Amino acid sequence: MSELDRLMNDREIPQDLKYAAIQHSLDQIKAHYAVDKELANHVEQVHENYKKEISAFLGSKATNYFDFYEKRAETARRMRPRFTATLEGDRIKREFLKSRLAEANEFFKNLGVNVDDIKSIRKKYSEEFRLFIDKRRNANAKEIHSKGNVDLNSNPEGL
């Protein structure tokens, strides 16, 4: 039996190393949870700010706007399985997107607001969200890179 096999045998791993491994796993789970919670909180805050600005811009028409986009999202979820990687699926997707655009144009025309104003508000919050995500990705990449640089001489036993 090799030394590695002997060490891997659960019965021969010292109890304090088992506890240290468990604690390390718990610490990593907590750190990931904190990052995920921070991301969720930020996304929620951006969404709330977006809704407030849209509501302030549209006034009493805001409810119609939010209902319209909720229905659009539901319709898209129902249609997505039909967008297969076939000629028929591509045709269905093109027709769906075309009718969706026409429906949105008609909605905004009836609402009596400038579509470009709504687009600029949506773009502003989309950009804020994208910048935050990029910042998180860069921080995660730096963290992974720094963890990848392990000093093999720091623990001569290899544990």
Cα dihedral sign, 68-71-77-79: negative
- Rounded distance, CA 75 to CA 70, Å? 9
112 by DSSP, 3-state: which? coil
Give the helix/strand (H/E) hosting 56: helix 15-58
Tell whether the model's pLDDT for residue 52 goes beyond 70.
Answer: yes
Q: What tokens were used for 136?
A: 């998180």
Residue % of the chain over a pLDDT of 70: 82
Residue 43 banded pLDDT, cuts 50, 70, 90? confident
Residue 137 banded pLDDT, cuts 50, 70, 90? confident
Domain spans of the chain?
A: 3-132
- Rounded distance, CA 15 to CA 21, Å? 10
- Rounded distance, CA 36 to CA 30, Å? 10
- Rounded distance, CA 92 to CA 113, Å? 30
The whole-model pTM stands at 0.63
Average per-residue pLDDT for the chain: 82
